[in-house]
C-alpha cells in the first residue's frame, strides 16, 4: 500500500499526446496489476498534469492505453479533490435529476482552445484507487465535468466528438491560432510566449 501523498511529487514530466494520435481515439484496457511500475507512472502523470496546469489527465494523454485518469479539481462548493481513478464506471443522472450545464471546456491534448459544451451537472464515478481499493467519487460543478471528460478519454472519445461541426471547426481554428505557444514536446518543453511568424 502506498499513500497518495507519495504519488503527487517527484515524477518526471511527460509529453502530452495530441488529438489525432491513435492512442487518444481507441478504448483503453483495464488495469490488473498494482505495482511499483504503476506508481512510478502515476507520479509521472501528476508531474505532467502540474506542468501543463491541468485539472485532470488520462493515461492516453501521455501515450499509455491503460484505463487510468488522475484529477486535481474543484467542485461546486469550492472544495478540491485530488486522486487516482482506475477502471472507472461513470453514472450520470437521468430523468428529472438530469440537469445540463453549458460551460467552456478545454483539453490538454488540444491546448489553447475552448468551446462551450453542455454536460450533466453531477456525476458518480466508481472504480479503483492507486492501490486497487474500490472507490466512489461524487462530482459537482467542474469536478463533475472533469469526471465525464476524463472517462470519455478512456473510451477513446475527445470532447470535440460531442460538438457540432461548426463548433468543432471553431475549436480547431482557436487551437491553430495559439499553436505556436505549444511545442511538440510540451509540457516537457515550456510554452512559448511570442508568435515567431509575427
Digit-by-digit pLDDT tens for the chain (198 residues) are 999 999 999 999 999 999 999 999 999 999 999 999 999 999 999 999 999 999 999 999 999 999 999 999 999 999 999 999 999 999 999 998 899 999 999 999 999 999 999 999 999 999 999 999 999 999 999 999 999 999 999 999 999 999 999 999 999 999 999 999 999 999 999 988 766 555
4-181: CATH topology: Peptide Deformylase (3.90.45)
Answer whether 162's CB lies under 8 Å from 116's CB: no
Say how far apart CA 148 and CA 17 lie, in whole Å.
Answer: 19
Query: How distant is the alpha carbon of residue 80 from its chain centre?
Result: 16
Helical H segments across 36-164, by residue range = 36-51, 141-154
> Which residue in the list 150, 176, 185, 193 is annotated as catalytic?
150
Global confidence as pTM: 0.94
Question: 42 by DSSP, 3-state: which?
Answer: helix
Is 150 considered catalytic here?
A: yes
- The domain segmentation of the chain, as residue ranges, is 4-181
Say how far apart CA 81 and CA 155 lie, in whole Å.
Answer: 22
Amino acid at each position: 500500500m502506498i499513500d497518495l501523498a507519495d504519488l503527487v511529487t517527484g515524477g518526471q514530466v511527460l509529453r502530452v499526446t495530441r488529438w489525432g494520435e491513435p492512442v487518444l481515439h481507441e478504448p483503453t484496457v483495464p488495469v490488473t496489476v498494482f505495482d511499483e511500475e504503476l506508481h512510478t507512472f502515476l507520479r509521472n502523470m501528476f508531474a505532467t498534469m502540474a506542468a501543463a496546469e491541468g485539472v485532470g489527465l488520462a493515461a492516453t494523454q501521455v501515450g499509455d492505453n491503460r484505463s487510468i485518469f488522475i484529477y486535481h479539481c474543484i467542485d461546486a462548493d469550492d472544495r478540491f479533490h485530488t486522486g487516482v481513478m482506475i477502471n472507472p464506471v461513470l453514472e450520470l443522472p437521468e430523468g428529472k435529476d438530469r440537469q445540463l450545464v453549458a460551460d467552456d471546456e478545454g483539453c490538454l491534448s488540444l491546448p489553447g482552445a475552448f468551446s462551450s459544451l453542455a454536460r450533466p451537472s453531477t456525476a458518480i464515478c466508481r472504480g479503483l484507487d492507486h492501490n486497487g481499493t474500490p472507490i466512489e467519487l461524487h462530482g459537482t460543478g467542474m469536478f463533475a465535468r472533469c469526471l465525464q471528460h476524463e472517462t470519455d478519454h478512456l473510451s477513446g472519445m475527445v470532447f470535440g466528438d460531442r460538438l457540432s461541426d461548426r463548433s468543432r471547426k471553431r475549436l480547431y481554428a482557436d487551437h491553430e491560432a495559439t499553436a505556436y505557444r505549444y511545442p511538440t514536446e510540451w509540457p516537457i518543453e515550456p510554452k512559448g510566449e511570442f508568435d515567431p511568424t509575427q
